[in-house]
Amino acid sequence: MNLLIGRLTACLISFAAAWALSSANASYIPFADQDLAQRDEPRRDIGAETDLYCIALAVYFEDGSTSETPDGQRQIARVVRERAKADRSKWGGRDICNVVFYKRGGVCQFSFACLPLARRTPRGGSRWDRAMAVASEELLGNEAGAGARYYMNPAITSDRNACRFRKEFVALFEAGRHEFFREPTEAERRTLAASDPAECKRYKAALELKKRLAKAAAEKRRKALAKKAAKKKTRYATK
């Protein structure tokens, strides 16, 4: 009986060892194939991909997703990169995504970044493909329009903001629907401060009109109250 038990035990041990060896071999082969596949796959540059995505977002949403021309889109991408290259805290530092999404005092540097998430999520398609292509071109080193760090679309910019742009920055060129600017030298700053652009004249005229209308409305209310008070006084006097 003891001999039979010993033989059964030996058989079980042999079976377990064989099963373990086969399992080890079976699990080893896929890992080896996986390692080979990983070596064949090019290593991704997550930092570069992130920069590409953030610039593409700025191009896509800063009026680049609608009727902006390819040249205008390229210059928008250039402004983002120029600000990052400047490495200024007021623009978000040197990180491209920090620049794109920089926010101070409740105001976003690029207006789309203050929109709800659903409204600043690209929907893909040909417009997004173009934005990605423009961003890729910029990151590859396109130098056209170097020096532009500000832009505005005069068709949708209020006279108040357009006046500020004209008096604070030096206009460089137009591209698509946008105008692009740089910071002035000290001498240029004095010249700009003394200037009186058309947008500033319109803004001043609008302010004056608003004041006159407010004054007229206040005078109308005063007369109405005086008339009401006079009627009330007359009614009491006749009693």
Per-residue pLDDT, 201: 95
- H or E stretch including 181? strand 178-182
**How far apart are the C-alpha atoms of 58 and 56, rounded to whole Å?**
5
Residue 96 C-alpha from the chain's centroid: 10
- Expressed in angstroms, the distance from the first to the final Cα of the chain is 134
Q: What are 118's strand-pairing partners?
A: none
- Contact (Cβ atoms closer than 8 angstroms) between residue 114 and residue 108: yes
Per-residue pLDDT, 65: 56
**Range with top average pLDDT, 16-20, 45-49, 65-69, 78-82:** 78-82
Per-residue pLDDT, 4: 37
Flag whether pLDDT at 66 surpasses 50.
yes
Flag whether pLDDT at 56 surpasses 90.
yes
Which one has a higher pLDDT value, 239 or 140?
A: 140
Flag whether pLDDT at 239 surpasses 70.
no
Average pLDDT, the chain: 81
Q: Look up the pTM and report it.
A: 0.69
Which one has a higher pLDDT value, 98 or 67?
A: 98
- H or E stretch including 171? strand 170-175
Per-residue pLDDT, 161: 93
In tens, the pLDDT along 70-119 reads: 899 999 999 999 999 999 999 999 999 999 999 998 889 998 899 888 88
In tens, the pLDDT along 142-199 reads: 565 558 999 999 988 999 999 999 999 999 999 988 999 999 999 999 999 999 999 9
- Mean per-residue pLDDT for 218-224? 89
SS3 43: coil
Residue 107, token pair as written in the block? 């105001």
Residue 132 C-alpha from the chain's centroid: 14
Give the pLDDT band of residue 64 (cuts 50, 70, 90). low
Q: Which of 232, 237, 159 is nearest to 200 (CA)?
A: 159
- What backbone torsions phi and psi does residue 155 show, to the nearest 5 degrees? -70, -25
Residue ranges per domain, the chain? 45-146
Q: What are 182's strand-pairing partners?
A: 170
**Amino acid symbol at 139:** L
**How far apart are the C-alpha atoms of 47 and 60, rounded to whole Å?**
20
Per-residue pLDDT, 80: 94
